Structure 1
């Protein structure tokens, strides 16, 4: 009996400590060409934690490691909605493709908390939608009275909804912190715009106004970690001050936005280190994450030198890996791949010659029409001097076996499958996400990363690297045609748009 009780306690402990969220669902009229993703909405990198395919009947299923209890973005067909999830939960989601994910139903462990969010969000939008923005013109005392009433009314609604839905205290606190941030934004807008609105350019807010602001910011260290909305509030609040600081810097025309902002934050003694870390990570992600920038090492150094928070460092590194690719000169990860005969291989097996690694999935709507014709020409031109490895990231090997013979027909290369697709170890080791395929990575003859992952086979730097690795000169581009302008003079052809690059949120 004691043994049975002991085993039951172990099982209960394992379930309670599990970080995995199990999700299943059905999207009526869903398309197999679309994917369902979940993203940690409070993180810095905001990269997909899972990418799930939708079958012919609209079903999807999967599980992922939840880094924390909090808000997660759920995406489908270019649309996004937010849900509150806790580690170890199981949930079922249903909706119609015409309105999903903007309209959906949740059942399971996450139902109560998300019913609470749905109810409070609807009330908040309705309440705030009725506000007359002329309150900016009110005298300070009247403005503060109205803002405090807004805070009280919406707080009461949060408490009532929490009691009705039996929501967890954590999600209730998160919603109240979100409300505080909205109120702080009102206060910030009033302070910035009231003087102009009433034609009093020297207007300054009172001590009472400042004290109320400080009271709402009292939990700032917690809110900066959980609420991107609060990070936006702080950045908007210091925007003008930072702009003056940046314009005064001697290196303003050459330094990155991140390096200047890092210097600015050193003078903000009122901010905690965590606050500085999250704000700097936000600026790096928004302004300086460019896969083909010449200053990538400098940007990484700004982060390494200034950010102390381990969670922010880890999150930002994931963003660097996703955007910049694996570090040049490092060994290509030896992640297991399956060949068409079922035998295992890794990219290390292709040493001796440079290797072009193509990552793709058959469900990607662009690969057949846009990528394959150009890829055939590239492979045919360089195949004598390099290996070609075509890594498939479909959800199942059965799907790979069914699609690769047709999709890759006529391309000289080794077809392999990353078991688990975008959720495979290969995808994690190489930072491959749905928005990064098809992708093209080059390895040197020693199996080391030769440069960033490219997403356009016509990218000039990619072509130059191909030529450098193989010793085969790139084919000459056709001579550009010129057309006379209206004055009869020759004009250069208009610049062509660059291929879209993957971005973090």
Structure 2
């Protein structure tokens, strides 16, 4: 009996510590190609945690791990909204395809927290429309400070009233209060920097009362840096003038400078900043240095910087995932094997191509670029290079039935091996090759020895990709039709991610 009781207690403990969120719902009138994604709104990598599709009736379901209780972004059809989630929750979402996720109905364990947050957001938006910031800034420091303090009091009063109305958890209450503080701090920083610029006096300083008020708003510094991108933007704004001077001295007469390196060095000299803040701020700047056209040497510098200067293991891991998603696996590394199946259900190994170079082509039926934009160019590429290399078409649709249907119709007549990654976007191969919805379709070249030979491409017409194919095959491709190239999708750094209102500090040219 004691044994079973112990097992029961262990099971309850495991359930209480679960970080998985289970979600289901329905979107009426939505497009069949649209996907629902959830992103950690406070994270640094801004990569989707899950990518969910709807059936013909608009129903969807899925689950994903959350690293912490907090605010997450829902995205759908180019729109986004925030939702507060806790590990172990089950919830239901519903809405209309035209307005979702800007408007949605929620039920289940997450209802009270999100009804509370939505009420606060509604009040904030309505309140903001009544404020004339230009007029407030023009009144001078004392009146500006009084005006901003009134804004803070009014917004926090509304939160307190909604606490009594909705009885939310402490976590979401603190998040919304920290959000108000972050917004106010950013206004203060913009005022401080703006006054220095408009007055023509670079040494302009606000009064002690101004600085004291800023300090008062930052009593939860670490929580704010962890949970609020707006607070990080505030810190970056305040650092910008000093960093400009620092960077100018470090980059003079130097080439191939990675801003992240300079910023890391700058942060090491700032004793008043916690390691938590340094990790998040450096991570923000590093994420801006990671882009598809980044030089391989610079990517190596960035990876080393992540490994040595970022102390938080979660941030470190998120940045490595972002780097792989944007630039791909390291050239020269052995291409990782992954679980794949062919249409007949038989397993397939990438190593079957060893001895001959090959292209991996990742695609899904719901991707808007796959049809008219990609397939005709893909067919030309395959026909030209097929005598010297292989082609492996990796489908990441939600089901194997959809894979068979899509591959038979979309890739009919194109020479290559059609394979499926079980679980689609959550598949083994998608994770190992850093494949996300915003990156589809994408292409990776493997050499005859089974090693990575290129970064990830989303454009078959890129000259760099053609050069690699020519080198591996010994062939010389004809020039690409510029019109066909324009039809190809261009890779962006997670287009679902919120873009900061203020760019990261950068040296003056």
Q: Same fold (TM over 0.5)?
A: yes
Shift of 1:207: 1.9
Larger Rg: 1
Name 1:488's counterpart in structure 2: none
Shift of 1:97: 0.8
Whether 1:86 aligns to 2:75 is no
**Is the contact between residue 339 and residue 417 of structure 1 (CA under 8 Å) also seen in structure 2?**
yes
The 1-side partners of 2:174 and 2:384 are apart by 60
Name 2:108's counterpart in structure 1: 108
Q: State which of 463, 468, 471 in structure 2 corresponds to 1:465.
A: 468
From the superposition, tell whether residues 147 and 411 of structure 1 become closer, same or farther in structure 2 (CA, over 3 Å).
Answer: same
Deviation per CA, 1:401-424: give whole Å up to 9, x if none.
222111111111111110111111
Whether 1:439 aligns to 2:442 is yes
**Is the contact between residue 455 and residue 501 of structure 1 (CA under 8 Å) also seen in structure 2?**
yes
The 2-side partners of 1:2 and 1:263 are apart by 58
Deviates more, 1:435-444 or 1:198-207: 198-207
From the superposition, tell whether residues 304 and 196 of structure 1 become closer, same or farther in structure 2 (CA, over 3 Å).
Answer: closer
From the superposition, tell whether residues 501 and 378 of structure 1 become closer, same or farther in structure 2 (CA, over 3 Å).
Answer: same
Deviates more, 1:420-429 or 1:129-138: 129-138
Shift of 1:429: 1.1
**Is the contact between residue 31 and residue 56 of structure 1 (CA under 8 Å) also seen in structure 2?**
no
Whether 1:501 aligns to 2:491 is yes
Aligned partner of residue 298 in structure 1, secondary structure: helix
The 1-side partners of 2:438 and 2:335 are apart by 21
The 1-side partners of 2:335 and 2:392 are apart by 13
Name 2:502's counterpart in structure 1: none
The 2-side partners of 1:223 and 1:180 are apart by 9
Whether 1:455 aligns to 2:458 is yes
Give the length in aligned residue pairs. 490
Name 2:127's counterpart in structure 1: 127
Shift of 1:227: 0.8
Higher relative contact order (CA 8 A, sep 6+): 2
Equivalence map 1:302-321=2 (5 Å)? 302-321=305-324
Shift of 1:257: 2.1
Name 2:173's counterpart in structure 1: 172
Whether 1:32 aligns to 2:29 is no
From the superposition, tell whether residues 440 and 477 of structure 1 become closer, same or farther in structure 2 (CA, over 3 Å).
Answer: closer
Name 1:257's counterpart in structure 2: 259
Name 1:187's counterpart in structure 2: 188
**Is the contact between residue 137 and residue 198 of structure 1 (CA under 8 Å) also seen in structure 2?**
no
The 2-side partners of 1:474 and 1:200 are apart by 59
Equivalence map 1:386-465=2 (5 Å)? 386-465=389-468
Name 2:282's counterpart in structure 1: 280
From the superposition, tell whether residues 354 and 162 of structure 1 become closer, same or farther in structure 2 (CA, over 3 Å).
Answer: same
The 2-side partners of 1:10 and 1:268 are apart by 46
Equivalence map 1:62-101=2 (5 Å)? 62-101=62-101
Name 2:327's counterpart in structure 1: 324
Deviates more, 1:152-161 or 1:434-443: 152-161
From the superposition, tell whether residues 54 and 498 of structure 1 become closer, same or farther in structure 2 (CA, over 3 Å).
Answer: closer
**Is the contact between residue 136 and residue 194 of structure 1 (CA under 8 Å) also seen in structure 2?**
no
Shift of 1:304: 3.0
Aligned partner of residue 82 in structure 1, secondary structure: strand
The 2-side partners of 1:203 and 1:413 are apart by 66
**Is the contact between residue 438 and residue 455 of structure 1 (CA under 8 Å) also seen in structure 2?**
yes
Deviates more, 1:299-308 or 1:10-19: 299-308
The 1-side partners of 2:36 and 2:194 are apart by 42
Deviates more, 1:338-347 or 1:127-136: 127-136
Equivalence map 1:293-372=2 (5 Å)? 293-294=294-295, 295-372=298-375
Deviates more, 1:407-416 or 1:296-305: 296-305
Deviation per CA, 1:64-102: give whole Å up to 9, x if none.
111111111111111111101011111111110111111
From the superposition, tell whether residues 52 and 195 of structure 1 become closer, same or farther in structure 2 (CA, over 3 Å).
Answer: closer
From the superposition, tell whether residues 218 and 470 of structure 1 become closer, same or farther in structure 2 (CA, over 3 Å).
Answer: same
The 1-side partners of 2:188 and 2:407 are apart by 58
Aligned partner of residue 442 in structure 1, secondary structure: strand
The 2-side partners of 1:176 and 1:154 are apart by 9
Deviates more, 1:454-463 or 1:214-223: 214-223
Shift of 1:6: 4.1
The gaps in structure 1 that reach 5 residues or longer are 481-492
**Is the contact between residue 357 and residue 440 of structure 1 (CA under 8 Å) also seen in structure 2?**
yes
Name 1:16's counterpart in structure 2: 16
The 2-side partners of 1:196 and 1:468 are apart by 53
The 2-side partners of 1:228 and 1:215 are apart by 19
From the superposition, tell whether residues 154 and 476 of structure 1 become closer, same or farther in structure 2 (CA, over 3 Å).
Answer: closer
The 2-side partners of 1:468 and 1:264 are apart by 42
From the superposition, tell whether residues 251 and 220 of structure 1 become closer, same or farther in structure 2 (CA, over 3 Å).
Answer: farther
Structure 1 segments, 4+ long, off by >6 Å, are 195-202, 495-498
The gaps in structure 2 that reach 5 residues or longer are 498-509
Name 1:383's counterpart in structure 2: 386
Deviates more, 1:225-234 or 1:263-272: 263-272
Shift of 1:293: 1.9
Shift of 1:498: 8.6
